[in-house]
Amino acid sequence: MARKYQTVLVTGASSGMGKDYVLRLLKEGMTVYAAARSVDKMADLAEAGAIVLAMDISKEADILAAVDKIKAGHGGVDVLINNAGFGKYGPVEETPIDAARYQFEVNLFGLARLTQLLVPAMREQGKGLILNVSSMGGQIYTPLGAWYHATKHAVEAWSDCLRLEVASFGIDVVILQPGIIKTGFIDGLAQNFDGDDNGPYGQMIANSNNATHKAYQRGTGSPVSLVSDTVVRVIRADRPKTRYVVGESARPLMVLHRVLPTRWYDALILRAVR
């Protein structure tokens, strides 16, 4: 790997894509900080050479403590991979607003606060890379996913604005847009779903859950390694693109959303939940 960047922080590193990024970047010879709430789930990362940090991205004290440890150890990081996040699903009418606020706290505000604290060191050294993990859901939309999509659309707009602000300091801001990836995301949905199965949206909920589970039972989804390969490519690039689309269904659905009239796209998406 080119040595433009050497030190990286990965959030949401206890499972899925985040864990795979850490292991891959360690193999590339980078110094990797791995942050997540569950330190015990990162024992393998520590054994592989990562510097493990306990951090709940929704808690200011945790973010400050993690940044202090990074500054004490290396002064800052060259690369920040904002990967932590989860999906909150359910009908808008039936999702508690406090649950929606927490979705934003994790997927947007925690990411933003961590970035605020790590940008100064990047600015002072005249280089840096901020890679924000969005989703194809940051460009498209589906029923029952209003709050999740809202956070990812917000992450993309926020990232675009940040890119303009820090470009003159040699800092790149890149958005990663994964599609369907073989991770624990589907299990997380079951734990983060609001809605009354017997209520007015009951049939839509049942059809949506059935369609999702059938898709995963068929083995659909791209391997996590495909996303990690993309992350390495971004870090190696002298001038990375502003967005990278990777994984099953991402590009086709995003293209359809872009070219189809809105009502046509709506009809296409609704077919899966009726």
Decide if 32 contacts 263 (C-beta within 8 A): no
Contact 145, 92 (CB under 8 A): no
| HSE value, Cβ hemisphere, 13 Å, CA-based, for 114 | 34
Answer yes or no: are the C-beta atoms of 79 and 235 closer than 8 Å: yes
Q: At what angle are helices 146-166 and 110-125 packed, to 10 degrees?
A: 20
DSSP 52-97: EEE--TT-HHHHHHHHHHHHHHHSS-SEEEE------BS-GGGS-H
Cβ proximity of 79 and 70 under 8 Å? no
Q: CA–CA separation, 18 vs 206, rounded Å?
A: 30
* Catalytic option among 5, 21, 89, 148: 148
For residue 53, which amino acid is it? L
Residue 141 is a catalytic residue: no
Residues 6+ apart with CB under 8 A from 133: 12, 17, 81, 82, 83, 85, 176, 178
User: Could you list the active site residues?
Assistant: 148
